[in-house]
Amino acid sequence: MPSGLSVLALLAGVVTPTIARNVVIPRQEAQSSSSSSDATIPFSALSSALASLGPAVTTFRSNSSSSSSTADPSATFTSTTASSTSEVSGRSSSTTRSDATASTTTAGKGPQSDCSTTTDLGWIPSGLPTPTLLPTTNANAINATRTGPLGNHNGGVDLGSDYSSQALDKFWDDWVSELGTSVTKYHRKKVGDVQQPPFREVYCPPQPYPLPEDPPALFPDYLMTSPPENVLTQYKFPDGFLFGWATAAQQWEGAVRDDGKGPTVWDWAARFPGFIVDNTTSDIARLAALGGNVYSFSAFWTRVLPWGSAESPVNQAGIDFYRNLAEYCWSQGVEPVLTLFHWDTPLALQLKYGGFASEDIIDDYVNYAETMFTAYNGTIKKWVTFNEPVVFCSQSTFPGNLTSLYYPYTCSYHLTLAHAKAVRRFRELNIQGEIAFKSDNFIGVPWREGNEDDQRGVDRHEAYQIGIFAEPIYNSGDWPQIIKDDLPPEILPRFTDEQKELIKGTADFFAIDGYRVGYVTAPPAGFEACIANTSDPLWPVCNQVNFYESTPYAWGLADFADPRVPWLQNTWRYIRGFLKDLTQRYPTNGGIYLSEFGFAEPEENEQAYKYIVTTDTKRELYFLSYLGEVLKAIHEDGTDVRGTFAWSLVDK
């Protein structure tokens, strides 16, 4: 869930007055991709790992192209594409760009068998310090005026059938790279050359990995009566519990035009000022040294299939990169989890037929998914088809030829079928592992306890924010009844009986990006008036989320995050009930994962110095609270929570 807030956050580490920052979760010895860590992890170790977070550097190198790895932990792998890091000197890398073009680098030009190690990580200081001034603007941001959305055309752009490298270069030049000011009837806007990565070789981290010294105490000890090492000592996370971080390809890969990658809609759109909040993206910090045992990342569809379609040639350099990344994770005792789609529709398919506005996307997506399944069978054991489809389909930036009244539900229809067909293909091919998609948002808590209108609002909120995909996939094969009652078939396409059978049961576990839980009440106009009025700002969900208590004093719901993300609060009080409710509504044999959770420290982007933003106690308390509540959910509620993924390793 890239927020666009390029705050330093987890990358720089979180500061606590009581936790020693040199404590990490014990990692297993190097292991093959056929197994994962079975260590029983205490709460204090997980919270300390979050407190110890800092950037690391690695060069991926390997002589092996096999689908599994039993490499020595010190062995690394060179990709022919897109891995990188750079000096952390602020809220994002010193090499950030206005798009994802050069914030990271390719890692080399071919497989190598050795790896140069450095102790100069660029961020571990020595001697007397000099305060690090943070950049306030991105010098590489373009000055063009943002134009209308790319998707405001009717599709049908003829890109021809030439899939050569020369044709791909021309495609980049025509639609992304050339500087210009004209806008065609297709809302094409060319906004500046794609900048090349500033360096192409990064070093492997030293082993063992150095971590920062303890920070000074921020509070007196009498206010911190229960340091993490003394919290919930009667409980431990169970064997096999996954604890780690998650990222999206658009955040960290960079090397946007290298090694045969085709453009995505984000490569086009992110080049306009304002599309990403401060026109920056971030580098990936190497997870292996941070103590987690799982890393969730997404792949660029167009790094594997540059043109997106079934007719597109497979880009072997892209296949090799993701394999090398996954194998490196395993070599460090870290399980890789792969998300196939994190909102980066191939630009060629958006132009050709409007992306997810067209049913043509279904077969093209399934072809892409099958390509990935067969390439990484045995290497990737947990797969995610789509990230947060409700959010993706609500992005009217790319609606094809549909209005905002129709597009979200046409997109939802096509995406659900694409997911179901991909999962059926996954099972037909006997691919090892588990597969599901990632939900987001929350069910909700009635604003006024016992109030029937508020409970109705909660039911509507759940149906539109989670149930719209979870109900057909986990339960009935069909849309929630609430939504079918609201929306006619012209807006919400109906599934046939055959499609319902195809869809039902196409997930092996439940994944929720559960950042917060909110109070829900009735819409101001009332339910019936709202449902009947498509111009009502709350239509069609027709419920209202409140961030304050219903008592006369109107206390705030919880501790609030950065003002630019007003929806985010530290609602630890409700996380246990939320997770339990989800497992009861949508039962699976694979348990539930808190697949994203994280916090935006207020006003980090406005701070002048790095030492200010690394003092992020609100984020620290958020993670401590959520991890503690997850632990209690497992032991006191019997909720089958299998893992947590902090968002994000970078750029959050």
Task: Tell me the pairing of strands 559-560 and 434-440.
Answer: unpaired
Predicted local distance difference test score (pLDDT) of residue 54: 36
**Cα–Cα distance measured from residue 306 to residue 346, given in angstroms and rounded to the nearest whole number:** 8
* CA separation for the pair 490, 185 (Å, rounded): 27
Tell me the pTM: 0.80
Which of 291, 204, 219, 305 is CA-nearest to residue 262?
A: 305
Residue 331 corresponds to which tokens in the numbers above? 């070599």
Helices vs. strands in the chain: H and E counts, helices first: 19, 15
User: Is-contact 6 88, C-beta < 8 A?
Assistant: no
- Band of residue 392 on the pLDDT scale cut at 50, 70, 90: very high
pLDDT in tens, 249-277: 887 776 677 788 988 887 776 655 444 44
CA distance 102 to 592: 36
3-state secondary structure 98-135: CCCCCCCCCCCCCCCCCCCECCCCCCCCCCCCCCCECC
- Tell me which of 190-204, 211-225, 428-442, 548-562 is least confident: 190-204
DSSP 27: P
- Write down the residue that tokens 């149906």 correspond to: 463
Domain membership of residue 298 (yes or no) is yes
Given the DSSP bridges, would you call strands 294-298 and 242-246 parallel, antiparallel or unpaired?
A: parallel
Q: Residue 278 has what pLDDT?
A: 41
Cβ-in-10-Å burial (0-12, 13-18, 19+) of 29 comes to exposed
- pLDDT at residue 563, as a whole number: 92
pLDDT digits (tens, 9 = 90+) for 303-318: 999 999 999 999 999 9
3-class SS of residue 446:
strand
Cβ(435)–Cβ(423) below 8 Å: yes
- Looking at residue 376, what is its pLDDT? 98
Burial of 132 (0-12, 13-18, 19+ CB in 10 A): middle
Q: Is residue 362 part of a domain?
A: yes
Does residue 61 form part of some domain?
A: yes
Lowest-confidence pick of 64-68, 337-341, 447-451 = 64-68
Section 120-126 average pLDDT: 58
Nearest residue to 592 (alpha-carbon basis) of 510, 648, 526:
510
Helix, strand, or coil (residue 621): helix
- Write phi, then psi, for 51 (nearest 5 degrees): -70, -20
- What span, in angstroms and rounded, lies between the C-alpha atoms of 425 and 431? 9
Report the Cα 347 to chain-centroid distance in Å: 20
What is the per-residue pLDDT across 471-524, written as a single tens digit (0 to 9) for each?
999 999 999 999 999 999 999 999 999 999 999 999 999 999 999 999 999 999
* 568 within domain boundaries: no
Cα(436)–Cα(442) distance, rounded to whole angstroms? Answer: 18
Question: 572 in a domain, yes or no?
Answer: no
User: To 10 degrees, what angle do helices 360-376 and 407-428 make?
Assistant: 40
Which pLDDT belongs to residue 73? 30
Tell me the average pLDDT across 352-377: 97
Pairing mode, strands 445-446 and 519-521: parallel
User: What does the pLDDT read at residue 627?
Assistant: 94
The whole-angstrom separation of Cα 220 and Cα 165 is 62
Structural domain harbouring 457: 9-138+191-509
The pLDDT of residue 115 is 55
Residue 292 lies inside a defined structural domain of this protein: yes
Q: Indicate whether 88 belongs to any domain.
A: yes
- Integer Cα distance of 438 and 469 in angstroms: 10
The yes-or-no verdict on residue 100 having pLDDT over 60 is no
Q: For residue 229, what pLDDT is reported?
A: 73
Question: Which positions are catalytic?
Answer: 388
Mean local confidence (pLDDT), 541-554: 94
pLDDT of 650 above 70: no
pLDDT band at 200 (very low <50, low <70, confident <90, very high): low
The one-character DSSP state at 173 is I
Q: Which of 346, 394, 327, 427 is nearest to 541 (CA)?
A: 394
State which of 19-28, 133-142, 582-591 shows the largest mean pLDDT: 582-591
pLDDT, residue 157, reads 85
Show the tokens assigned to 608. Answer: 């002048």
pLDDT band of 279, cuts 50, 70, 90:
very low
The per-residue b/e assignment along 460-481, b for 16 or more CB within 10 angstroms, e otherwise, is bbbbbbbbbbbbbbbeebbbbe
Domain count, the chain: 1
Instruction: Check if the beta carbon of residue 58 is closer than 8 Å to that of residue 76.
Output: yes
Summarize pLDDT for 43-99 with one digit per residue, the tens: 666 655 555 443 332 222 222 233 333 333 333 333 333 333 222 222 222 222 223
β-bridge pairing 242-246 and 236-237: unpaired
Structure tokens that stand for 618 in this block: 């609100």
Residue 540 preceded by cis peptide, ω within 30: yes
User: How remote is the C-alpha of 378 from its chain's centroid?
Assistant: 23
Mean pLDDT of 436-457: 97
Torsion sign across C-alpha atoms 339, 341, 342, 347: positive
Helix (H) / strand (E) element for 626: namely: helix 617-636
For residue 133, is pLDDT > 90? Answer: no
The stretch 612-628 carries a mean pLDDT of: 91
Cβ neighbours of residue 184 closer than 8 Å, sequence gap 6 or more: none
Where is average pLDDT lowest: 13-22, 105-114, 482-491? 13-22
For residue 24, pLDDT over 60 is answered with: no
For residue 239, what are the CA distances in angstroms to 37, 97, 523? Answer: 8, 42, 45
Answer yes or no: are the C-beta atoms of 362 and 318 closer than 8 Å: no
- On whether the CB atoms of residues 147 and 189 are closer than 8 A, the answer is yes
Give dist(CA 36, CA 294) in Å, integer.
9
Q: How high is the pLDDT of residue 196?
A: 63
pLDDT higher than 80, residue 144: no
* Residue 488, token pair as written in the block: 């006619």
Q: What is the CATH number of the domain that holds 290?
A: 3.20.20.80
Instruction: State both tokens at 35.
Output: 């197994």
**What gap in Å lies between CA 476 and CA 20, rounded to an integer?**
49
Residue 148, number of CB atoms within 10 A of its CB: 11
Q: Is residue 594 part of a domain?
A: no
Distance CA 502, CA 481 (A): 19
Given this model, what pLDDT does residue 47 score? 59
| pLDDT of the residue at 198 | 59
pLDDT digits over 405-417, tens only?
999 999 999 999 9
The angle that helices 43-51 and 617-636 make with each other, rounded to 10 degrees, is 160
Quick one: which H or E segment has residue 643? strand 641-647
Across the chain, what does the average pLDDT equal?
A: 76
- Helix intervals (H) in 394-524: 407-428, 452-462, 468-470, 481-486, 497-503
**Spatial separation of the C-alpha atoms in residues 363 and 421, rounded to whole Å:** 8
